[in-house]
Structure 1
Amino acid sequence: MSEPSTAAVAAFDPAAFEAFRFVAVEIDEAAAAVTLRYALDDAVAFAETVRFEGVAWPADPARREALRRLAGLLHLLAGVSYYKTAAPPAMVVEPAAGWTGGGLSPRLRALLQDVYTLGLGEFAYTNQLDVRERVAFPVAGDEAAVDAVALPVSGRTLVPIGGGKDSVVALELIERAGRDAVCFSVGRATPIVRCVEASGRPHAVALRSLSPNIGELNAAGALNGHVPVTAVVSTIALMTAVLHGADAVAMANERSASEGNLVWNGLEVNHQWSKGVAFERAFRELLETEVATGLDYRSVLRPASELAIARAFSRLERYHPHFTSCNAVFRLDPARRRSNWCGNCPKCRFVYLALAPWLEPPALRAIFGVDMLDDLEQYDGFSDLAGLREHKPFECVGEEAESLAAMRLIAGGPDGEPVAGQEAVSGARSGRSPWADHAVVRRLREEHLSGLGADPAQAVALLAPFLLDERLPLPADLAPVAEAVLGA
């Protein structure tokens, strides 16, 4: 087999390729780095590097083996960024791919099939290309499964910080539970660094460098679209946890991540699929059985609604000047990257809306720099959050019903007065809503919300802080703390 080319291309034809190859994993212990190699046929090569800052590769055999397996898993999951360039009909996992040498176990293969189909649901919809007809990982027998290695319990928890409200609330839970918390991020985006500094906690950083030819190929005609990046970040976080002596990774994915955006050709398209409960459950089972025992992975906000999280965050005022959830901050192109809220995108609108029931207009203007709810040009965008005009945007936003509940709370009755039953929401304001006369709020009330007055429970019931999920219960030390932080 000849060596794939990395030469520049004038045009890229996705239909020209037959197979996507998982070529090799290379671990550089001295540099604390992992290189992941892929190829399309023998024609195009990809090489991605992940480097872990400020750590030495361990000498302990169990931790070394856990890292080797996690590097192999990372190779298989991160390949989604390169597979999508052509989405060819064959997938080849070569011996040097670094998993276990015995092929893919049924459990691992099932997870990968879901990541490359359900996780690429938005990509499939955007490109009108049904990936379910193409993704086919090689089949192996039960003998491919391996027993997990045993890692010691340390009491240290790694908390991924994304710069937004959710990860800050997750960190608050871990700290109040008395755990030794270490903040983690991929890269050093400004809002992440600001939030970590406000926490006073140590910061573990990994640097992910995508294959340098991916941008050129996209410009030349490669297929492009959203990928399930949380699956990749989660695996990098687990490697970082092992390197820093932590025994748990506490994610900040809430219940709304499991709600899809739409159904296309029988496929539920969910922008947040790899943040959802189905991925978390399957990923946890693989880790526990084939990677490492004593290494916990779970979202500590899974039972909570977005509005309960927003209410909890509204009380954490030391983070208010520092957090940013707007994706314009994280753009790959530095020339297009912002350092704060753009004030005119689905993510900005949703966070603004979720915080509005708990914060006064001046407080939100100070955070965002604009008053989005008083700008009628943003009316359609707010309407879409609740599914009142189009489907929920392809963004990390809450459930449509939650957005509708937030609108109802800030809009009030016909004259802005509190709606019947609103007093049942602990922490809700009494008296006329300070948002009642804002242009977007007024129009929402007149066009969509007036008919809700007869059923106060319709909105209020959505604010319960928990939907207990017996499949993913919180550990005993976190459950009472979660109730205290996320409750009234």
Structure 2
Amino acid sequence: MPETRPAAAASFDPAAFATFRFVDVAIDEASATVALRYALDDAVTFEETVSFPDVAWPQDAERRAALRRLAGLLHLLAGVSYFKTAAPPTIVLEPGAGPFGGRLTPRLRALLRDVYTLGLGEFAYVNRLDVRERGAWPAADDGGPGDVPRLAPTGRTLVPIGGGKDSVVALEVVQRAGRDAVCFSVGTAGPIVASIAASGRPHALARRTLSPTIGEVNANGALNGHVPVTAIVSTIALMAAVLHGADAVAMANERSASEGNLVWQGLEVNHQWSKGAAFEAAYREVLGEELVAGLDYRSVLRPASELAIARAFSRLERYHPVFTSCNAVFRLDPARRRSNWCGDCPKCRFVFLALAPWLDPPALRAIFGADLLDGEGGPAQDDGFADLAGLRQHKPFECVGEEAESLAAMRLIAGTGPDGAPVPGQEAVSGARSGPSPWAGHAVVARLREEHLAPLDADPAQSAALLAPFLLHAPAMAALPDDLRPAVEAVLGA
């Protein structure tokens, strides 16, 4: 279906649209490509494609049925990128939409409602637009999902690789468990390809091509902002798992992702909502009960904090020269895209801070190209690091750790005085330095210690607070499959 695009110079008035329409989803088996089609009223249409290179569409009935249902789910979740351009009051599902031909089960409807409200919490806050009053979904159909296809076990696990430290640690856990690991990525950004090459594991690839219309309407007045992209990538990964003969997808979402940034008008705003435990639980339930049985989806890092993951990553030295978590590397606009760490964003600061308790200044300078804790890389380092721990204002809208663990990392590297003597309780943190911190005299560290950290050392309760980020969350550990629990303990435990 050809796209109807607004003229390049035309204005785009979000208030002019009454409905967002899920038109249809089409699969081209010969090219292993899925086309996802949407419209705002009858005026503007969008078509996104997701392709899976170098893999044949399966011939067996169960996997084909699984892929059809997953493509339908992808259609509903990826629509959030286009719905947000106008956030109209009503959502319409055409007969060719979604996994059940335009119908919604109660469980699936509830998940979608959360994705389009809680998943758009940051978008709502930035645009001062209450998404709870927009996008009314059709009523649920109690007819049920029908016969759910069931996949046979294969022992192969797909591990999405994003180019950063977390996915590499997740891969280490999966391999430690003795599973046949296959790396997966959406696109071929440099850090992703380099990390997969360093792993020595096979690479399953998908390519997502956003509708060209999105750039045009954004330039002409459409609403814009953050979307719950992990929900979309997860579904693409599940399709890739079926195509490449895997029976599980192992995500790298840590427990820190469940912490919100702030509450606005009663709506919790969490930049990482679709990485959080609540989304994962609801998504797993819809997947297993209504879409595909025998295809596991879970984060293998859920018991751990970002700080514990950074400690584990500090030991994986072969990845240090190639990984990058900075979002500037992954910008869609090639003119604004960087090849490495920018050194002046919340993501760069957090990763630098999380690794500092385990790596010395020369090692981190070699990775980042600058010493961010000495004020290099940009003029905003002092306030930027303080914000990570909530010492100045709310945690930045980025994929960064909990405020408490950022504070713990600061205390570990600052010490109790200008000489960086160990803080009380540091001896309980496995892997922490026993002697003076080499970071103690760095400009940002000294200011943080003087203005924020020194009073904490006199509080006996802070010893427990320092240890807390390194304790694996017992309920999340218990929820893991039997083979993954000892692997998580070995990689991330004390």
What corresponds to 2:382 in structure 1? Answer: 379
What corresponds to 2:29 in structure 1? Answer: 29
- Describe how 1:38-437 pairs up with structure 2 within 5 A: 38-101=38-101, 103-375=103-375, 377=379, 378-415=381-418, 416-437=420-441
SS in 2 for 1:469: helix
Whether 1:484 and 2:490 are equivalent positions in the alignment is: yes
Contact 2:428/2:467 (8 A) holds in 1 = no
Contact 1:102/1:144 (8 A) holds in 2 = no
1:471 is displaced (CA, Å) by: 9.2
What corresponds to 2:465 in structure 1? Answer: 459
CA deviation map 1:341-392 (0-9, x unaligned): 0111000000000000010110000000000000073000000000000100
Count residues in correspondence. Answer: 487
1:102 is displaced (CA, Å) by: 6.2
Contact 1:103/1:144 (8 A) holds in 2 = no
SS in 2 for 1:249: strand
Distance, in Å, in 1 between the alignment partners of 2:471 and 2:207 is: 35
Query: What amino acid is aligned across from residue 465 of structure 2 in structure 1?
Result: A
CA deviation map 1:431-461 (0-9, x unaligned): 1100000000000000000111122424322
Query: What amino acid is aligned across from residue 422 of structure 1 in structure 2?
Result: Q
* Alignment gaps of 5+ in structure 1: none
Contact 2:425/2:464 (8 A) holds in 1 = no
1:5 is displaced (CA, Å) by: 2.5
Contact 2:357/2:412 (8 A) holds in 1 = yes
Contact 2:191/2:322 (8 A) holds in 1 = yes
Contact 2:3/2:47 (8 A) holds in 1 = no
Distance, in Å, in 1 between the alignment partners of 2:466 and 2:90 is: 50
SS in 2 for 1:453: helix
Distance, in Å, in 2 between the alignment partners of 1:276 and 1:32 is: 30
1:17 is displaced (CA, Å) by: 0.2
Query: What amino acid is aligned across from residue 475 of structure 2 in structure 1?
Result: D
Distance, in Å, in 2 between the alignment partners of 1:471 and 1:317 is: 26
Runs (4 or more) in structure 1 with deviation over 6 Å come to none
Query: What amino acid is aligned across from residue 382 of structure 1 in structure 2?
Result: F
1:178 is displaced (CA, Å) by: 0.9
Distance, in Å, in 1 between the alignment partners of 2:483 and 2:2 is: 53
Distance, in Å, in 2 between the alignment partners of 1:472 and 1:30 is: 42
1:53 is displaced (CA, Å) by: 1.0
SS in 2 for 1:353: helix
CA deviation map 1:242-294 (0-9, x unaligned): 00000000000000100000000000000000000000000000011011111
CA deviation map 1:83-110 (0-9, x unaligned): 0000000100110114112610000000
Distance, in Å, in 2 between the alignment partners of 1:297 and 1:276 is: 13
CA deviation map 1:170-219 (0-9, x unaligned): 00001111110000000000000000000000001100000011111101
Distance, in Å, in 2 between the alignment partners of 1:14 and 1:215 is: 15
What corresponds to 1:8 in structure 2? Answer: 7
Pair 1:339–1:160, CA change in 2 (3 A): same
SS in 2 for 1:287: helix
1:463 is displaced (CA, Å) by: 2.9
Distance, in Å, in 1 between the alignment partners of 2:213 and 2:478 is: 40
Query: What amino acid is aligned across from residue 5 of structure 2 in structure 1?
Result: T
1:430 is displaced (CA, Å) by: 1.1
Pair 1:471–1:307, CA change in 2 (3 A): closer
Distance, in Å, in 1 between the alignment partners of 2:305 and 2:251 is: 15
Query: What amino acid is aligned across from residue 361 of structure 2 in structure 1?
Result: P
1:224 is displaced (CA, Å) by: 0.2
1:142 is displaced (CA, Å) by: 1.8
1:464 is displaced (CA, Å) by: 2.4
Distance, in Å, in 2 between the alignment partners of 1:89 and 1:287 is: 28
What corresponds to 2:448 in structure 1? Answer: 444
Distance, in Å, in 2 between the alignment partners of 1:26 and 1:359 is: 49
Distance, in Å, in 2 between the alignment partners of 1:444 and 1:459 is: 18
CA deviation map 1:109-156 (0-9, x unaligned): 000000000000000000000000112111123214334211000000
SS in 2 for 1:318: helix
Contact 1:4/1:43 (8 A) holds in 2 = no
1:237 is displaced (CA, Å) by: 0.1
Pair 1:191–1:470, CA change in 2 (3 A): closer
Query: What amino acid is aligned across from residue 400 of structure 2 in structure 1?
Result: V
1:3 is displaced (CA, Å) by: 8.9
Contact 2:51/2:206 (8 A) holds in 1 = yes
1:473 is displaced (CA, Å) by: 1.0
1:472 is displaced (CA, Å) by: 7.2
CA deviation map 1:379-436 (0-9, x unaligned): 0000000000010000000000000000000000023211121111111001110000
Query: What amino acid is aligned across from residue 384 of structure 2 in structure 1?
Result: G
* Alignment gaps of 5+ in structure 2: none
Contact 1:20/1:83 (8 A) holds in 2 = yes
Query: What amino acid is aligned across from residue 46 of structure 1 in structure 2?
Result: F
More off after superposition, 143-152 vs 238-247: 143-152
Distance, in Å, in 2 between the alignment partners of 1:93 and 1:122 is: 25
Alignment RMSD, CA only?
A: 1.4
